[in-house]
Chains A and B, each alone.
Chain A
Amino acid sequence: MTSFFRFIARHTAYFYFLLYCSISIMLMQLQRKETLDAIRERGLAANAAIAEQLSGFRSIFSLKQDNERLFLQNARLVSKLRHQELAMRDASAIRSLIDHRTDGMNRFTIARVVDRRFSATDNMLIIDAGRNRGIAKNMTVLTPDGLVGRVIEVSRNYAKVLPVINRNFMVSVLTDSTRTNGLLSWRNGNEGIAQLEHVPVSSTLLVGEGVSTSDFSTFACRGIPVGRIARISKDKLFYNVDIRLAVDFSALSHVMICPDKPTMEKIELMESQDVPQKEP
Chain B
Amino acid sequence: MMLSIKNLKAEVEGKEILKGLDLQVGAGEVHAIMGPNGSGKSTLAHILAGRDGYAVTAGEVLFNGESLIELAPEERASRGIFLAFQYPVELPGVNNTHFLKEALNAQRKARGEPELDSVAFLKLIREKLAMVSMQPELLKRPVNAGFSGGEKKRNEILQMALLEPKLAILDETDSGLDIDALKTVSDGVNALRSPDRSVILVTHYQRLLDYIQPDFVHVLAGGKIVRSGDKGLAKELEAKGYGWLSGQDEAA
Do these two chains interact?
Answer: no
